[in-house]
Structure 1
Amino acid sequence: GWQYLPGGANANILTNNNSQLLEYTREAMKEERFGEAMFAARYFIKRTPTANDVPEMRRVVAEVYEGRGFDEYAFKEYQKLLDAHPDYDKTDEVFDRMYNISTLYLNGKSFRWKIPWQDTIYIPTGSSMRETSNLYTQIVTNAPYGAFAPKAQYGVGQAHERALEGFWGFFASEAQYYKATRAYQLLVDRYSYRPGDELRSNQEEINEMVAQSRFRSAELFEKQANEGIYDQSMAERSISAYADFADTYENDEKRTEKVTEAKSRMNEMYLERARGLKAIALFYEQKRQWVAAHTYYGQIDQVLLKVDTVNYPKQEEEATAIRKFALARLGEVLFRRRLIDALEQYSQAQEYERKNKPYSANRFYMKVSLNLDMLPASMEKAAVEEGLDLSKLSQIKAAVENDLDRTQKLINQLEIEQRTKSE
């Protein structure tokens, strides 16, 4: 049959023996005659797929793609080499090339879609941190405890983290944050040095990546906490992660600055938690759910007690302001508002009961019961300050349990009658 030859190729390569074809391929690569080198390497593999030099020819194919800027395709060819020849004696060199390709894309290189059946024309498809993370992940999968695995795993975290930046980062979901933190946490879990472990040749580099991964995880939790004041779980995770970092490196002189920063950020996250509790309490105030608001204001002081204002005095002013606001609400404002609402709600409940609406009446009696559930001294003080009739409030508090019981019995009777009719 016939065989296509690229322009400039010597037809004699079709009859060359393996040694001659190998030499021809090397010479073509040296002179950057990539089309000829690609053809010769593929022809060699096709003609003698079990020859000892096939791994080198597969590597030529990958290097040609690199030379032409098709780095993703080169990565795939390197992977084919590793899959087909797991005992290849230059595996570390291949891993090095794969890692460098991944890093090109991490730094913003655009991916390319190559037009099929040729090796030069392409359409740029843009940068993709998702695809970049897949490249790094493949390196880790190939050899989870190999020399390149720790920094490849760190690359996975960096790729996911960079996907959170820029325009599309604005639409990032919790799942995308999870991928980034999970990648860093996996690095910490798998590659942290433990007493008794054998030291690696690049142990210092690994230790640095582990430390950075700990800190970056805490930063990502902090970022999520700052984006959603009603989700206190991320603030908790951030505080825990910073505390873990500070405890781990407390006596590490090289990381004194980072430990100080971690403690400062813990302080900030305690303040963030207090801000969040205040915001939630105000939300319930707007909904006139005074008991719920009281609960959240009550948690603020316990959080602020953890703020270190001695070593970080800049945060003392805000902490004092939040505490003062919460204590004022707890001490006076909420109790007065609860009493005012209780009086209004009791009148509404009685009106609903007169109109034979036991469901609505029962619901409002329940609100009255909740709002009047306070110590007698607190009720007396709030009533006097607001100018309310304390005697009437006391009578309502004593009567509301009977009101609830009475309306509940009416509800039960109505439901029995409805079931009887339906039968």
Structure 2
Amino acid sequence: WDRAIEEFEKIPENFPNSKLSAEGVYYAGLSWQQKGDLAKAADAFQKLADKYPYSDRIKDAMKREFDIANDFASGEKVKVLGIPALSGQEKALELYKHIVKNAPFGTFGDQAQFKVGDLYKSQEEFEEAQKAYQKVVDDYPNSEWAGKARYAIADCSMQAAKKAQYDEKTAQKAIEQFQGFKQTFPEASQAIEADAAIKTLREKNALTNLQTAAFYEKQKKLSSAKVYYEEVIRQYPETSSADAARKKIEEIIKNDIEPSKSSKPWYQLW
């Protein structure tokens, strides 16, 4: 394939104004693909789209670029000196973005934009992922990928809430996003998953408040503890934490334990 690639790449160099130039670039890409160097094949297909946008080969070239991007996103490595060496994730991201830029409303525009979000999400760059998914919702509202993007946005918030120290505010945001997804796409296949995610997040939020109440109770600050126990019951009545909170309040009332005021004489309170 080396000789074929060499000859095909000479065509646009020697005949830049000829219709054959686009053909040379296209067939160079095919040859690189046959040789197994997907990164260089993709570079050729990108070049075709950038320099020869009116070529009859554009549709096929974009499909091949999309397929190659999928290969890299799935674990294919970029070759260095003919040897698979580098992660293909960044190359996949580059290719997906190139497809969206050059053929935003082509066959693969909406899916490529969605895949950008998937890649960022896999790298735990949740904010960038949400931006990418939101672009699917905004630019392709009638696409089948719009609903999936709405769900993915909520899932990113849930994953972000789980990352490092649990973030209750981010979790609540995820709950609202899942609820919004269900309202907009009630018949979506992911509606059941959204319900499960909402339940999990509400259980976690309730447990966080229950733990806060338990901390105040341990510190003998029973009024504050009671406030948090009541908040668990009010906000998350269906959770197991709410049942535990009810029992705790009953114990506090039963023992008639009130937060004790300082036993120090008044002159030692300063």
Larger Rg: 1
| 1:93-119 deviation digits (Å, cap 9, x = unpaired) | 1110110000001111112223xxxxx
Matches within 5 A, 1:206-221: 206-207=143-144, 209-221=145-157
8 Å CA contact 2:96, 2:115 repeated in 1: yes
Q: Provide the rounded CA distance (Å) in 2 between the counterparts of 1:228 and 1:239.
A: 19
TM-aligned CA distance change 1:240 to 1:36, over 3 Å: same
TM-aligned CA distance change 1:223 to 1:46, over 3 Å: closer
TM-aligned CA distance change 1:329 to 1:103, over 3 Å: farther
Partner residue of 1:274 out of 206, 209, 225: 206
Q: Provide the rounded CA distance (Å) in 1 between the counterparts of 2:253 and 2:99.
A: 60
- Counterpart in 2 of 1:304? 236
Q: Is 257-266 or 81-90 further displaced after alignment? A: 257-266
- Deviation, structure 1 residue 149: 0.7
- Deviation, structure 1 residue 249: 2.6
Partner residue of 2:70 out of 93, 99, 103: 103
8 Å CA contact 2:229, 2:246 repeated in 1: no
8 Å CA contact 2:77, 2:84 repeated in 1: no
- Deviation, structure 1 residue 156: 1.1
Partner residue of 1:249 out of 185, 208, 231: 185
Unaligned runs of 5+ in 1: 1-33, 115-120, 165-175, 194-205, 308-314, 354-360, 362-423
Q: Provide the rounded CA distance (Å) in 1 between the counterparts of 2:39 and 2:216.
A: 53
Whichever residue aligns with residue 272 of structure 1, its letter is K
- Counterpart in 2 of 1:321? 243
Partner residue of 2:85 out of 102, 124, 137: 124
TM-score of the superposed pair, with normalisation by structure 2? 0.85
Whichever residue aligns with residue 194 of structure 2, its letter is A
TM-aligned CA distance change 1:163 to 1:226, over 3 Å: closer
8 Å CA contact 2:230, 2:245 repeated in 1: no
SS in 1 for 2:190: helix
Q: Provide the rounded CA distance (Å) in 1 between the counterparts of 2:132 and 2:256.
A: 46
TM-aligned CA distance change 1:78 to 1:124, over 3 Å: same
TM-aligned CA distance change 1:87 to 1:284, over 3 Å: farther
SS in 1 for 2:262: helix
| 1:198-221 deviation digits (Å, cap 9, x = unpaired) | xxxxxxxx31x2222222332332
- Counterpart in 2 of 1:343? 262
Q: Provide the rounded CA distance (Å) in 2 between the counterparts of 1:58 and 1:335.
A: 83
Whichever residue aligns with residue 222 of structure 1, its letter is M
| 1:27-74 deviation digits (Å, cap 9, x = unpaired) | xxxxxxx11111111222222221111011011222222122221222
SS in 1 for 2:56: coil
Residues 1:66 and 2:33 are matched in the alignment: yes
Q: Provide the rounded CA distance (Å) in 1 between the counterparts of 2:152 and 2:140.
A: 16
- Counterpart in 2 of 1:11? none
Q: Provide the rounded CA distance (Å) in 2 between the counterparts of 1:73 and 1:287.
A: 65
Q: Provide the rounded CA distance (Å) in 1 between the counterparts of 2:101 and 2:220.
A: 55
Partner residue of 1:144 out of 91, 104, 108: 104
8 Å CA contact 1:278, 1:326 repeated in 2: no
8 Å CA contact 1:229, 1:276 repeated in 2: no
Matches within 5 A, 1:193-208: 193=142, 206-207=143-144
Partner residue of 2:57 out of 90, 93, 116: 90
8 Å CA contact 2:178, 2:194 repeated in 1: yes
| 1:301-328 deviation digits (Å, cap 9, x = unpaired) | 22114x4xxxxxxx6xx24433325534
Whichever residue aligns with residue 136 of structure 2, its letter is L
Unaligned runs of 5+ in 2: none
Q: What is the number of equivalent residue pairs in this alignment?
A: 270
SS in 1 for 2:17: coil
- Counterpart in 1 of 2:137? 188
Q: Provide the rounded CA distance (Å) in 2 between the counterparts of 1:325 and 1:42.
A: 78
Q: Higher relative contact order by CA 8 Å / sep ≥ 6: 1 or 2? A: 2
TM-aligned CA distance change 1:333 to 1:303, over 3 Å: farther
SS in 2 for 1:343: coil
8 Å CA contact 2:134, 2:150 repeated in 1: yes
TM-score of the superposed pair, with normalisation by structure 1? 0.56
